[in-house]
Amino acid sequence: MVDEVVLKNATETAWTVYRARHPEVDEHDTRRCLLERHLQSRSEARESDTEELAGFGIAYLQRLPRDEC
């Protein structure tokens, strides 16, 4: 289980980077919820490594099909 503070910081970082690359994506887009769930499930991620977890999140968002979100 990922620490809540690390999860929050990693989610914010990944979401900010993703939206900077995709300004057409709304702040409250459903992908944010998907991102948080994905990061929460990363049981093999080190709990204290926000940057690593954010990197996983950015990669996950890039793989999501745009037309399904």
pLDDT tens, position by position, 1-19:
568 888 899 999 999 999 9
Is the torsion defined by CA of 38, 40, 44, 46 positive or negative? positive
Distance, first Cα to last Cα, the chain: 26
Phi, psi for residue 49 in degrees, rounded to 5 = -105, 85
Domains of the chain by residue range: 4-68
pLDDT in tens, 7-59: 899 999 999 999 999 999 999 999 999 999 999 887 555 556 889 899 999 99
Does pTM surpass 0.75?
Answer: yes
Measured in residues, the chain has a length of 69
Check residue 33 and give its pLDDT.
94
H or E stretch at 23: none
